[in-house]
Amino acid sequence: MSSSKVDHQRIYRAVPLFKSLSEEELDAILKISRLFRSPEGHKLVEQGEAGKGVFIIVNGGAAVTIVDEDGESTVLAQLSRGDAVGELSLIDSSPHSATVTCTETSTVFHLDNRAFNALRAEHHSAAFKVLRATAPMICERLRQMNDRIAAIFADPQKSMAEMEKVYLRKTESNPFQ
């Protein structure tokens, strides 16, 4: 086995989506994916665009943002080593709900959804194991969202006050609204 292949396997093995894969299954994923350097400011995914696959931060960082109807950008999350985005596009190609932009030069793993779907169509065990590993990630995000909604209903006055502060900050920064 070449040292490059060993290095890539070591990197990919550290990613939660691929921990359960055998060496042969990991090789199948390696063949349809790429590891690349992404400069600061590069958009990995853009809000409203169709899903292109899953992106995993190997080194570096990225910000997840949404833009509202007024063009105001809000940071939802900061990503770092091991964090994944776009995993839902392995299931369907719905448009991304947010933009993910590298906040520094980053090493990123990309698994293209079309190549992955071809692997899945072949009934390859690697594809099914990756999908199974995706489920807990999606469940955790759903739980976090449920917790946020529960917090809003638990103390609506506090939530309204926080939303009003955000609104005032936005309108103060743009006096023409």
User: For position 32, what pLDDT does the model report?
Assistant: 93
Residue 45 domain flag: yes
Residue 88 has pLDDT above 70, yes or no: yes
- What residues make up the domain containing 56? 3-133
Residue 119 domain flag: yes
User: What band does 166 get if pLDDT is binned at 50, 70 and 90?
Assistant: low
User: What's the mean pLDDT in 137-143?
Assistant: 83
Residue 57 domain flag: yes
CATH number at residue 18: 2.60.120.10
Q: What percent of the chain clears pLDDT 90, i.e. is strictly above it?
A: 43
Residue 146 domain flag: no
User: What band does 115 get if pLDDT is binned at 50, 70 and 90?
Assistant: very high
Residue 142 domain flag: no
* Structural domain total, the chain: 1
Provide the token pair at 154. 């638990």
Distance separating alpha carbons of residues 132 and 45, to the nearest angstrom:
23
| Long-range contacts, stretch 114-121, CB < 8 angstroms, 24+ apart | 114/53, 115/32, 115/33, 115/53, 116/32, 116/53, 116/90, 117/90, 118/32, 119/28, 119/29, 119/32
Residue 160 domain flag: no
Residue 172 domain flag: no
Residue 113 domain flag: yes
